[in-house]
Structure 1
Amino acid sequence: MSTPIIQYLTTGVEVQQAADSLQTATRLAIDLEFDDMRHRYGRNLALIQIFDGKVVYLLDPLPLTNPAQELEPIWMLLRNPAIEKVFHSCKSDILLLDELYDVHVRNILDTSVQYTLLGESDNNISLGRLIQAELGLEVDKGEQKSNWLKRPLTEAQKVYAANDVFYLFELADRLRVKLAELGRAEWADQENAALEDVRYTRDDRPYLRMAGKYRIMPTEMPLFRDLYMLRDQVARQLDKPPYMVFANDRLSELVRDTPRDTNDWKTARGLHPELKRTPYLDQLAALSPDNFVAVPEPAATGEQRRFPFRRRLNGEKAAKADAREQLLTQLKTHITTDINIYVANLVLSNRLVADIVELGTEQVLRPWQKTILREACQNHSLDYAQLTTPFDAVA
């Protein structure tokens, strides 16, 4: 394949011209480069790559005066259901577009979804490995961890960014043929259609995602939370990632061995200098053992508890839930033998098994997954009807 023709666009006028030329496209290959708490605070869009089969457009949002407004012609293309948008591993991209610009991408084809449904591997495949496996080409990924917010972009960065979309049409077409040969084209259609429903939701308790919470006692969670939130406040003010205010590992360490007073906080290692000045030093002092007033954590919702459904069951109900889980485990073994372990995991992952036990297949699974389960039940004389309804409806 030839070298991509690259147009690097830095003004609203150029963006509008590119959008005008892309209006008649039937499909576009899309990728984003963005910074997620590595070099600045928050998630920041750094580059948009679009390939129409002829030209790779690199749209730079950083020089734009009003990116949300000046990029709207591009967002209109992404919202247009008549244009197929080809991505590789798109969830982080579409979440960012939804979060920052209220863009809900329509008509998505994800080559990582296609590859996963071939059932050749358990893990998501990187774009570089997929290009090598399907096209026999080595693509330089040396710029993968670049600071995409730094300007000017190097020529190497531009070529890297262009390659992220340049091969997507050929990959999508090859994978589509392979899936059709396996009778799985409809699987991909259903999974890709479901990507339109992916939406960004704000996490009100982000500190619960921190690995450090497992190194503290439950009673220490209020201090862990308040120290996390103070670090986040300073990071936002400085426009720095929180780890530059102090490292993630220090969070649980400061909770387990909290400085006793202002002087202790001033000499504490690994804290950004801004924390050791007012008003933040006073806020840190308020977290010291003699001063801290713990506000209890709100009770976890059902979605935030681990295995909330099974914990509520006992006696006969617990036995029925166990029976349903055993049937699903049996079916997973049969699908592994009849097809392979990778497809079995796509239909009955541990998460899906837990959801089916509670909610039933009709609410949890896509049509293609239900078809596989029905066929496995028929082939092995098992009762699919036992799995369809929510648990509360089980006789």
Structure 2
Amino acid sequence: MKEPAFVLEGKPVHVVQTADALQAAAAHLGQQPELALDLEFDQHHYTYGFTLCLIQISDGKTTFLIDPFPLEDLQPLWNVLENPAITKIFHHANNDLMLLSMLGCQVRNLVDTAVAAKILNYSKAALGTLLEEELGLKLDKSQQMSNWNQRPLSRKQLEYAALDVLYLHELKTAMVGKIKELDRMAWLEEEDKLLESIIYTEQEDPHLKIKFPQRLTLFQQFILKPIYAFRDEVAQKWNLPAGQVINTNALLQLLNNPEQSINEWLYHTKGVHGRLQQDRYEGPLQRIVNGAVQEANKRKIPHRLPPNPFPPRLKTPETEARKELLCTVQKTLIERYGAYATPMLLDQSTITQYSQTGELVMHKKYAREIVLATAREMKINL
């Protein structure tokens, strides 16, 4: 293995930017029993889409910072992460696992220290907070919101990235020890197994996921779809977040008055990128909007709001009685396990569903067993 790029806290840090270096790193990492892992990514902040910018991985002694930009094939690393014989330690794994899944990697055998913090009833689960409380370490988080797309990355960014995994082994050992003392390993094992099932899927009707300050009519939703596709295509071409091409408020102004002149809208609306004020964009957008309005009228799409996806909840003596029963159980759980751990066992959505339907839907085995056992102790029949 080549000389490290730098040494941090007495431990070597390698920056991997070639296929040969990646093969060597993967060969080394594949022999380790346990690895700490973190990703730096950009999600519609500086550039278009969900972009992997850096992979930090450590065996506890040696850290590798893997730059995906010059690497065509990350499969050697994916093979390591998918190996169930190697434990992978994450902190707040959800987004990292979603991105890895999108890139074709399904991580197996992981431990999430943020989940461990909830199980231990910690009020705060930020990595910096846990390292300070558990290990007495204080991290500099000044690079947290920096631009990880830029190249070259600064020395401060590289050090920040390495520190995010350098102490995860120690943190995991300390927290798992406490969880074992509390006899809650079944919680951690089932929660971490659920994280393995995170799979990236393309959103259905992504244009309807935009959060507008007002609900859209069925007519507005119909004409939004091709406008959204136009914005997305331009954003991808320019490698910019879609919201920087046309922001939400500008979209809403267009949807509220789709028959206005696109030229007028482009030049007199805040939140529209100046580069759209060109014939190559203005003409196609005008045709898209006109075509969508004509098609909506042809199909007689109504100018009314769609049905509320969240109908009002029933409030009857029966629903209130069921709610009271489960809230009584919840109160006892809080007394036993703490206010921050209890939502892992019994959250508000479960209580609401039970009150409305009378059916206790709980998919986590450990949580169901604890809730039902607690209810039986309290002579409550669920």
**TM-score interval for Structure 1 and Structure 2 normalised by the shorter chain:** 0.7 to 0.9
Aligned to 2:245: 245
Deviation string 1:351-382 (CA, Å, 9 cap, x unpaired) is 23345565944x52312211221232122111
79-88 vs 217-226, greater mean Cα deviation? 217-226
- Residues 49 and 161, structure 1, Cα contact 8 Å, conserved in 2: yes
Aligned to 1:306: 310
1:47 aligns with 2:49: no
Paired AA for residue 37 in structure 1: H
CA distance in 2, matches of 1:231, 1:47: 28
Helix, strand or coil at the partner of 2:13: strand
Q: What does 1:1-395 correspond to in 2, within 5 Å? A: 2-64=9-71, 66=72, 69=73, 71-99=74-102, 101-121=103-123, 125-212=125-212, 214=214, 216-217=216-217, 219-258=219-258, 260-269=260-269, 270-286=271-287, 292-293=293-294, 294=296, 305-306=309-310, 323-355=321-353, 360-361=359-360, 364-383=362-381, 386=382
Compute the displacement of 1:278 (Å): 3.9
Aligned to 1:392: none
Q: TM-score of the superposition, structure 1-length normalised? A: 0.84
CA distance in 2, matches of 1:203, 1:30: 27
- Residues 356 and 364, structure 1, Cα contact 8 Å, conserved in 2: no
RMSD across aligned C-alpha pairs, in angstroms? Answer: 2.9
Helix, strand or coil at the partner of 2:85: coil
- Residues 18 and 70, structure 2, Cα contact 8 Å, conserved in 1: yes
Identity %: 31
- When residues 338 and 90 of structure 1 are mapped into structure 2, their CA distance, relative to the original with a 3 A threshold, is closer
- When residues 275 and 204 of structure 1 are mapped into structure 2, their CA distance, relative to the original with a 3 A threshold, is farther
Helix, strand or coil at the partner of 1:208: helix
CA distance in 1, matches of 2:286, 2:226: 12
Deviation string 1:178-209 (CA, Å, 9 cap, x unpaired) is 11122212211111111111111110222333
Count of aligned residue pairs for this structure pair = 367
Compute the displacement of 1:319 (Å): 6.9
Q: TM-score of the superposition, structure 2-length normalised? A: 0.86
CA distance in 2, matches of 1:80, 1:198: 16
Helix, strand or coil at the partner of 2:340: helix
Compute the displacement of 1:218 (Å): 5.1
CA distance in 2, matches of 1:26, 1:186: 21
CA distance in 1, matches of 2:142, 2:46: 18
Helix, strand or coil at the partner of 1:271: coil
Compute the displacement of 1:26 (Å): 0.5
- When residues 218 and 184 of structure 1 are mapped into structure 2, their CA distance, relative to the original with a 3 A threshold, is same
- Residues 44 and 50, structure 2, Cα contact 8 Å, conserved in 1: yes
Paired AA for residue 127 in structure 2: L
139-148 vs 214-223, greater mean Cα deviation? 214-223
Paired AA for residue 64 in structure 2: Y
CA distance in 1, matches of 2:207, 2:358: 29
Paired AA for residue 173 in structure 1: T
Compute the displacement of 1:291 (Å): 7.4
CA distance in 2, matches of 1:88, 1:319: 44
- When residues 184 and 27 of structure 1 are mapped into structure 2, their CA distance, relative to the original with a 3 A threshold, is same
Helix, strand or coil at the partner of 2:341: helix
List alignment gaps of at least 5 residues for structure 1: 387-395
Deviation string 1:208-261 (CA, Å, 9 cap, x unpaired) is 332215354454322344433321121112111112212233222332345612
Paired AA for residue 271 in structure 1: V
List alignment gaps of at least 5 residues for structure 2: 1-7
- When residues 282 and 167 of structure 1 are mapped into structure 2, their CA distance, relative to the original with a 3 A threshold, is same
244-253 vs 108-117, greater mean Cα deviation? 244-253
Q: Which runs of 4+ in 1 moved over 6 A?
A: none
Helix, strand or coil at the partner of 1:74: helix
Aligned to 2:3: none
Helix, strand or coil at the partner of 2:179: helix
Compute the displacement of 1:165 (Å): 0.5
- When residues 373 and 21 of structure 1 are mapped into structure 2, their CA distance, relative to the original with a 3 A threshold, is same
Deviation string 1:320-353 (CA, Å, 9 cap, x unpaired) is 6655444322322232334432233222212233
- When residues 252 and 62 of structure 1 are mapped into structure 2, their CA distance, relative to the original with a 3 A threshold, is same
- When residues 353 and 219 of structure 1 are mapped into structure 2, their CA distance, relative to the original with a 3 A threshold, is farther
